[in-house]
Amino acid sequence: MESLNLSLAAHKPLSGSMTLPGDKSLALRAALFSALAEGTSEINNFPDAGVTRTMLTALSQLGVEWHLEDGKLTVVGRGLHGLTKPSKHLDCKNSATTIRMLAGALAASGTGGTLDGSPILRRRSMARVTEPLRLMGELIATPNGCAPMTFPSRKPDKPLHAITYTMNIASAQVKSCLILAALAANGVTTITEPSPSRDHTERMLSAMGAKIRVIAPPTIQIAPLDKPLSPLTITLPGDISSAAFLIVAALLRPDSSIVIRNIGLNPTRTGLLDALRVMGAYIKIENPQTLYGEPIGDLHITSAPLHGIHLQGPIVVRMIDEVPALAIAACFAKGKTTIHDAAELRYKETDRIANLCRELRRIGAEIEEHSDGMTITGGQLKGGRCDACGDHRLAMALAIAGLTASTPVIVNHAEVLIDSFPNFVETLNALGINDYFHGKA
């Protein structure tokens, strides 16, 4: 990948309305679950980004036919047990969602194969999926609990064991992996999380015919499939995790007013909106509707002075990917913002707590690092040079800080944003921001 420096400077108000590419969490699920269904699925507004390409390439290696053109993905389903054994390792690159959900799919299908990834992904623990999968009878081989993970082949008439399992951490990746495996178990599987993580898997698989029951929000029960999953016809809502950067940019830049249409507003993902509202933000939801079990609406954001907030507990799980964007809001808010219970951020694409604190300090933030979060004292950022540290969300968060900082913010190695939001710069253009610079590092 060619190295890119992205520099944004103080700017006139942001204005305009737009739609965003489809939500990546939904896109990865839609692609994989369609492959496990019987029949042909059609997924519109499919985001063509690094992570989704990673999933599609792995699906090809598993014998799945798909076609992506102009944002429309068609997938020919192979059924729960119809994947073919890949002839070489499936490379999940940096995508933990891809590797952990594929782990569930490989366990359910019984196809066998090896899941691997980049050196960064190889450092992330896979024990959180291999341990419960082993309890279900899927004897996965891993060196020290990390990728590569090798799955044995298993005949379809040999089901996995249904389990009752309590997860140590709230994680939709782990929960989704276990739900997929549970579809091929010999009875009802019960899973409990410490607090509810995003529930897209439950909603989508239920819409495809799976029997998943919410007992009480952090506990769900999954019955084995008694008929094939039905194919999907779906238009993905815009990605709230990508919208997060635009929302914060519009709130911070005085006199801004923007509308982001058709955004996914699943309550397990809207922690950022709730937090920003408590900080004084004006965010209006227009045209609310529910499509395929997922709440959707238009977001109207008007700039507003913000004040600090104390964040901990379940709301942090509901905004785990949005903490970098929230941190930028906190840097310009009045008073202190404290974030706790976010230790999971140390195990994302990078150690997001350490990198965010260090890079924000470089551009003038007053920030104290905690083992499970940070405290930011708001004021004004001076701007300057910082680094994306190989993390797409850090690249975009730091870039938007430049719109309100005293001098431009230059984000080195910003090319990584292609992982999740390849048209980030074009989207800023659509909001009237065109005095940025991007060039080779």
- Residues at the contact surface with ligand S3P, assessed by CB under 6 A: 25, 97, 171-173, 176, 197-198, 320-321, 344
Q: For residue 300, with 0-12 CB atoms within 10 Å meaning exposed, 13-18 middle and 19 or more buried, which class applies?
A: middle
**CB-based contacts of 233, cutoff 8 Å, min separation 6:** 41, 42
Whether 23 contacts 43, CB under 8 Å: no
CA–CA separation, 178 vs 189, rounded Å?
Answer: 9
Shortest separation between residue 336's beta carbon and ligand S3P, angstroms: 25
Question: What percent helix, strand, coil does the chain show, rounded to 5?
Answer: 35, 25, 40
CB of 224 to ligand S3P, least distance (A): 22
Using alpha carbons, select from 145, 51, 135 the residue that is nearest to residue 101: 51
397 neighbors 245 (Cβ within 8 angstroms): yes
Is 341 known to be catalytic?
Answer: no
| Cis amide linkage into residue 148, ω under 30° from 0 | yes
For residue 40, the minimal CB distance to ligand S3P (Å) is 24
CA pair distance 411, 343, nearest whole angstrom:
25
Q: How far apart are CA 283 and CA 256, in angstroms?
A: 12
Rounded least distance, CB 393 to ligand S3P, Å: 9
Check: CB of residue 183 under 8 Å from CB of residue 210: yes
Catalytic residue among 23, 239, 321, 341: 321
Residue 73, helix vs strand vs coil: strand
Burial of 436 (0-12, 13-18, 19+ CB in 10 A): middle
Q: Tell me the C-alpha distance between 136 and 159, whole Å.
A: 9
Task: Please report how close the Cβ of residue 240 comes to ligand S3P at its closest, in angstroms.
Answer: 12
- CB nearer to ligand S3P: pick between 5 and 266: 266
Distance CA 49, CA 132 (A): 30
Q: Looking at beta carbons, which pairs linking 433-437 to residues 24 or more positions away fall under 8 Å?
A: 433/8, 433/11, 433/14, 433/403, 435/9, 435/11, 436/6, 436/7, 436/8, 436/9, 436/402, 437/5, 437/6, 437/7, 437/408
Unique residue bearing structure tokens 């492959």: 35
Q: How far is the CB of 179 from ligand S3P (least distance, A)?
A: 11
Closest CB to ligand S3P among 173 and 266?
173
Residue with Cβ nearer ligand S3P (171 or 303): 171
Radius of gyration of the chain (CA): 21
The nearer residue to ligand S3P, 197 or 262, going by C-beta atoms, is: 197
- Output the smallest distance, CB 226 to ligand S3P, in A: 26
Give min distance, CB of 176 to ligand S3P, in A: 6
**What is the DSSP annotation of 327-390?**
HHHHHHSBSEEEE-S-GGGGGSSS-HHHHHHHHHHHTT-EEEEETTEEEEE-S----EEEE-TT
Smallest distance from ligand S3P to CB 172, Å: 3
Half-sphere exposure of 136 (CA within 13 A, CB side): 38
Q: Which is closer to ligand S3P, CB of 172 or CB of 229?
A: 172
- Catalytically active residues, by annotation: 321
